[in-house]
């Protein structure tokens, strides 16, 4: 099983790996080490290995930044020196799950403005270069537009070959290529590998992860080149399944595996789940709204902060990953300071995925204030299901799939994305009568279909179909040959 991150914080990947292992498959999950050092642990009976990933090819693309830096006078660099230490985050003593965020944001000086101007000047050339290579090399142009994709190959490829898997489960678009190339190499040796592509996102509907013209065309070209190698495709929603089939001409509609919580997995990872209110330092009578997930501008978190002056006494818990702290520290917390509501905004660390539902249940309502991007329109996202199993009233922006579901179930309120006043209206409604919204979860069968046990069966059926009659080369946990039928094959 392949993923392009450090595994912790990616609940879907953890749930798939653990459930597959629980079902009897021999699972090795390869991820990317966050600190450049190899790491290894067990997730249930699934082995997790985090690989160091040097980035020599990625560094090639950084040469352009070096050129831009040459355009900046030394005096401007000195003028833009930060006025405080960089971001620091640590656990707050006595508050499980809480983070203390320290250090002021760097002063935006002449260097920053010159960099912005230089990037704008470079942008037309960037577009021209992107169009040129796509015209000349077609989908193969991703190798020139984003060579860092091959850094993943250099890090993961040799390990995958050494493991000699019977099936590769590749999570999302960057791992698709790694899995496809391993499948081709195995075929050249006379071995057969089945490839499952787990598509988490629809690339044409994504906000690019990098501020340049190359990144998104490169990812799309890479995906188009390797999608035909997948023996089966699974994804997170029916609408996304239809879009993927049309985009890549897939022979069959991808199976839908929802990002539902694993309520049946062991809660006691490190004792009972921490208490959200203790982490925030608020009592049971304090109205508490929670957002859980990645902290990015397109997630609409500024709406939650900007609304607080109109919501006296209401507190906000931002349960975010460490990677989101620069945005939280540089944008959200300064805004809260200016609005004089900083004492009502609490930054809280992730908890293990098995504890999320119980942790979130300490809030009065769960908020999903995302902006209008296609990927948010087409799926019920992970936090939606987590809020639901925590039996929280939800406040969601009017992105199509979630808004339609909330209106149909009555479990919360919908507001216009980015509209602070409409968000305030929605929050006031759920806080005024939370029992009415929580009652929606009493509807027979509503939550039963939103459990991971139901979704894991779809993954299990996919593996079994692809490896029907296959003889395993899996190893048991102690390293002895397994020699088992398909249900013990190595993923």
pLDDT digit string, tens, across residues 139-195: 999 999 999 999 999 999 999 999 999 999 999 999 999 999 999 999 999 999 999
Classify residue 269: in a domain, yes or no. Answer: no
pLDDT on residue 65: 47
pLDDT-derived band at 96, boundaries 50, 70, 90: very low
Q: How many residues does the chain have?
A: 491
Classify residue 486: in a domain, yes or no. Answer: no
Mean pLDDT of all residues belonging to the chain: 84
pLDDT at 102 over 50: no
pLDDT at 459 over 90: yes
Weakest-pLDDT range from 94-103, 256-265, 339-348: 94-103
Q: Do 283 and 212 reside in the same domain of the chain?
A: no
Weakest-pLDDT range from 312-326, 376-390, 399-413: 312-326
* pLDDT mean over 216-243: 96
Q: In what order do the strands lie in the sheet with 288-292?
A: 345-349, 315-320, 288-292, 365-368, 394-397, 412-415
Calculate ∠ Cα 245-247-250, nearest 5°. 35
Q: Do 213 and 286 reside in the same domain of the chain?
A: no
pLDDT at 137 over 90: yes
Report the CATH number that the domain containing residue 353 is assigned in CATH: 3.40.50.2000
pLDDT at 100 over 50: no
pLDDT-derived band at 470, boundaries 50, 70, 90: low
Q: Do 299 and 406 reside in the same domain of the chain?
A: yes
Higher pLDDT, 402 or 113: 402
Classify residue 396: in a domain, yes or no. Answer: yes
Q: Is residue 364 within 8 Å of 292, Cβ to Cβ?
A: no
For residues 369 and 316, give the distance between their C-alpha atoms in angstroms, rounded to a whole number. 13
Question: 162 lies in which domain range?
Answer: 11-55+148-259+454-479
Q: Do 391 and 292 reside in the same domain of the chain?
A: yes
Q: Do 207 and 337 reside in the same domain of the chain?
A: no
pLDDT at 70 over 90: no
Q: Do 438 and 461 reside in the same domain of the chain?
A: no
Which DSSP string do the residues of 261-319 spell out, in sequence order? Answer: --TTS-S-SSSSPPPHHHHHT--TTS-EEEEES---GGGTHHHHHHHGGGSTT-EEEEE
pLDDT at 266 over 80: no
pLDDT on residue 465: 96
For residues 366 and 384, give the distance between their C-alpha atoms in angstroms, rounded to a whole number. 8
pLDDT on residue 95: 40
Weakest-pLDDT range from 68-72, 78-82, 419-423, 471-475: 78-82
**Dmax (CA) of the chain:** 70
pLDDT-derived band at 273, boundaries 50, 70, 90: confident
Classify residue 354: in a domain, yes or no. Answer: yes
Classify residue 176: in a domain, yes or no. Answer: yes
For residues 380 and 237, give the distance between their C-alpha atoms in angstroms, rounded to a whole number. 7
pLDDT at 84 over 50: no
Q: Is residue 475 within 8 Å of 482, Cβ to Cβ?
A: yes
pLDDT at 93 over 50: no
For residues 270 and 41, give the distance between their C-alpha atoms in angstroms, rounded to a whole number. 15
Q: Do 370 and 410 reside in the same domain of the chain?
A: yes
pLDDT at 69 over 60: no
pLDDT at 235 over 80: yes
Classify residue 404: in a domain, yes or no. Answer: yes
pLDDT-derived band at 353, boundaries 50, 70, 90: confident
H-helix or E-strand spanning residue 454: helix 452-466
The model's pTM = 0.77
Q: Do 169 and 291 reside in the same domain of the chain?
A: no
Q: Is residue 253 within 8 Å of 241, Cβ to Cβ?
A: yes
Classify residue 264: in a domain, yes or no. Answer: no
Q: Do 247 and 110 reside in the same domain of the chain?
A: no
Q: Is residue 474 within 8 Å of 490, Cβ to Cβ?
A: yes
pLDDT on residue 270: 45
pLDDT-derived band at 374, boundaries 50, 70, 90: confident
pLDDT on residue 60: 59
For residues 162 and 332, give the distance between their C-alpha atoms in angstroms, rounded to a whole number. 46
pLDDT on residue 484: 40
Q: Do 163 and 306 reside in the same domain of the chain?
A: no
Higher pLDDT, 87 or 178: 178
Weakest-pLDDT range from 78-92, 174-188, 426-440: 78-92
Q: How many domains does the chain have?
A: 3
Classify residue 265: in a domain, yes or no. Answer: no
Q: Do 252 and 326 reside in the same domain of the chain?
A: no
Q: Do 167 and 38 reside in the same domain of the chain?
A: yes
């Amino acid at each position: 099983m392949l993923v392009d991150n450090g595994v912790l914080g990616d609940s879907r990947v953890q749930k798939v790996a653990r459930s597959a292992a629980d079902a009897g498959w021999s699972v090795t999950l390869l991820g990317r080490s966050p600190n450049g050092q190899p790491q290894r642990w067990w997730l249930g009976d699934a082995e997790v290995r985090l690989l160091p990933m040097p980035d020599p090819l990625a560094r090639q693309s950084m040469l352009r930044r070096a050129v831009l830096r040459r355009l900046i006078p030394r005096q401007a660099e000195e003028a833009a020196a930060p006025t405080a230490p960089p971001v620091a985050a640590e656990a707050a003593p006595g508050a499980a799950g809480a983070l203390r965020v320290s250090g002021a944001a760097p002063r935006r000086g002449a260097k920053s403005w010159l960099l912005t101007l230089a990037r704008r000047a470079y942008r037309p050339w960037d577009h021209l270069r992107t169009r040129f290579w796509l015209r000349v090399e077609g989908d193969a142009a991703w190798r020139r537009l984003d060579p860092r994709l091959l850094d993943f190959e250099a890090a993961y490829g040799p390990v995958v070959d050494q493991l000699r898997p019977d099936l590769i489960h590749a999570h999302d678009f960057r791992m698709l290529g790694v899995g496809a190339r391993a499948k081709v190499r195995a075929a050249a040796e006379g071995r057969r590998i089945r490839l499952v592509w787990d598509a988490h996102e629809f690339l044409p509907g994504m906000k690019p992860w990098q501020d340049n013209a190359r990144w998104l065309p490169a990812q799309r070209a890479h995906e188009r080149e390797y999608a035909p190698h997948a023996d089966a495709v699974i994804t997170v929603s029916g609408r996304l399944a239809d879009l993927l089939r049309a985009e890549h001409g897939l022979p069959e509609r991808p199976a839908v595996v929802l990002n539902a919580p694993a309520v049946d997995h062991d809660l006691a990872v490190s004792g009972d789940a921490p208490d959200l209110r203790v982490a925030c330092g608020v009592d049971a009578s304090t109205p508490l709204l929670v957002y859980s997930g990645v902290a990015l501008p397109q997630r609409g978190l500024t709406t939650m902060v900007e609304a607080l002056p109109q919501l006296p006494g209401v507190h906000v818990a931002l349960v975010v990953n460490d990677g989101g702290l620069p945005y939280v520290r540089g944008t959200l917390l300064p805004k809260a300071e200016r609005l004089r509501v900083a004492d009502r905004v609490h930054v809280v660390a992730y908890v293990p995925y098995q504890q999320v539902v119980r942790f979130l249940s300490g809030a009065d309502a769960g908020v999903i204030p995302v902006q209008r991007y296609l990927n948010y329109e087409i799926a019920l996202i992970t936090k939606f299901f987590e809020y639901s199993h925590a039996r929280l009233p939800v406040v969601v922006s009017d992105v199509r799939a979630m808004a339609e579901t909330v209106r149909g179930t009555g479990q919360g309120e919908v507001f216009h994305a980015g509209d602070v006043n409409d968000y305030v209206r929605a929050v006031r409604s759920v806080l005024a009568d939370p029992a009415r919204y929580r009652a929606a979860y009493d509807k027979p069968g509503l939550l039963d279909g939103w459990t991971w046990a139901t979704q894991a069966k779809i993954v299990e059926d996919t593996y079994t179909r692809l490896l029907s009659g296959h003889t395993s080369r899996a190893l048991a946990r102690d390293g002895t040959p397994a020699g088992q039928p398909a249900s013990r094959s190595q993923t």
